[in-house]
């Protein structure tokens, strides 16, 4: 399996068309890969042509960043890889300014991440999650300062409302600040909510979407259908009645293709509207190799349509209203079917 090299939005940086999520680097959370298995994961991804790595200050209590930094130095690949980390989540209890979107936490979180990674700068620095405590204007001013400092090459946004993302992009453009070059959020067969507003907003601004949760925490492997144990609790949406039915469909269709179910789940994501770069995590090199089968799958269109139907969501107002026959007839008359609805909406109107 050889990954392709693509541009990361308008940054000009070349990244692999899959990003390796390193939240599994370290065992502090009761699951994941120890240092030796993390090394195998890292090396396997490099051998596939991968060079894009995602981590965060909070992952495995800081071990994710430490292990990733050590491996990059061991393999002498700092000039080849693109490292993304994040701030916002707390690392200490009882410390009022350890966590949040504000500038103090931003600065101290970045410095701590650089120390754990053993680096002078990071290639990509995310706001990890919106906390509703500051204005988009303040956020973009603060992020721009980090780029000017040289400690951050590019900035990105994650897990925030579409209106906040759009405001941030517009402010950065108008004030000639550094612009976010990526948007991250949960997107999979099970969780398609980003199709309503976030994916169209990202496409409007020419920003790629980094999709996490593409394998539903491993649920799409089918292991919970067999009664196996895993890190996803029984009351999770990833093990709901809808999730079970959807996983059964994925397992059935994957068997028809002769591939692993997680490979098919990944392949579906690659056919999503917009510019999607999946973030793939694994607890072993073998698991990673099984998942990456999806990158080479040629899935029949009728099978993709079957998965679309099984995972369909309601787009809600105003999307369903604006794509409906009545409003389009009132706008375009008898020729309303000739007017194209943006392909960013996966379902037919």
Q: Which residue is associated with the tokens 């996966």? A: 346
C-beta atoms surrounding 309 within 10 Å = 10
Own/partner contacts of 103-110, CB < 8 Å, gap of 24 or more, are: 103/138, 103/142, 103/145, 106/142, 106/143, 106/146, 107/146, 109/57, 110/146, 110/151, 110/152
187 in active site: no
User: For residue 270, which of 346, 196, 342, 347 has the smallest C-alpha distance?
Assistant: 346
Please tell me the distance from the alpha carbon of residue 299 to that of residue 264, in angstroms, as a whole number: 8
Contact 7/41 with Cβ under 8 angstroms? no
Active-site pick, 31, 59, 177, 315:
59
What span, in angstroms and rounded, lies between the C-alpha atoms of 326 and 346?
Answer: 20
Q: Say if CB 172 and CB 180 are below 8 A apart.
A: yes
For strands 14-16 and 276-280, give the pairing: unpaired
* Per-position b or e across 119-156, b if 16+ CB within 10 A of its CB: beebbbbbbbbbeeeeebeebbbbbbbbbeeebbbbbb
Query: Catalytic amino acids?
Result: 59
């Amino acid at each position: 399996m050889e990954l392709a090299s693509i541009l990361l939005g308008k940054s000009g940086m070349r990244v692999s068309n899959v990003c390796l999520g390193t939240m599994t680097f370290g065992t502090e959370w009761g699951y994941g890969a120890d240092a030796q298995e993390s090394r195998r994961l890292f090396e396997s991804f490099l051998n596939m042509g991968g060079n894009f790595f995602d981590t965060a200050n909070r992952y495995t209590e800081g071990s994710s960043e430490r292990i990733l930094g050590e491996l990059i130095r061991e393999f002498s690949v700092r000039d080849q890889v693109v490292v993304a980390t994040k701030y916002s989540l707390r690392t200490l209890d009882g410390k009022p300014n350890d966590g949040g979107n504000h500038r103090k936490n931003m600065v101290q979180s970045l410095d701590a991440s650089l120390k754990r990674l053993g680096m002078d700068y990071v290639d990509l620095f995310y706001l990890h999650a919106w906390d509703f405590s500051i204005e988009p204007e303040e956020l973009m001013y603060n992020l721009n300062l980090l780029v000017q400092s040289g400690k951050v090459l590019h900035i990105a946004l994650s897990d925030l409302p579409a209106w906040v993302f759009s405001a941030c992009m517009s402010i950065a453009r108008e004030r000639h600040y550094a612009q976010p070059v990526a948007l991250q959020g949960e997107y999979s067969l099970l969780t398609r909510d980003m199709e309503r507003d976030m994916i169209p907003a990202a496409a409007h601004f020419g920003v790629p979407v980094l999709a996490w949760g593409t394998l539903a925490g491993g649920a799409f492997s089918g292991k919970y259908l067999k009664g196996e144990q895993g890190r996803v609790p029984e009351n999770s949406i990833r093990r709901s009645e809808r999730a079970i039915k959807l996983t059964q469909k994925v397992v059935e269709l994957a068997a028809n293709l002769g591939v692993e179910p997680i490979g098919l789940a990944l392949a579906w994501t690659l056919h999503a509207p917009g510019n999607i770069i999946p973030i793939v995590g694994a607890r072993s090199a073998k698991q990673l190799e099984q998942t990456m089968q999806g990158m080479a799958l040629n899935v029949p269109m009728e099978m993709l349509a079957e998965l679309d139907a099984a995972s369909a969501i309601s787009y809600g107002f105003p999307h369903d209203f604006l794509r409906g026959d009545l409003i389009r007839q009132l706008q375009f008359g008898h020729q309303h079917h000739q007017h194209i609805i943006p392909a960013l909406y996966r379902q037919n109107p």
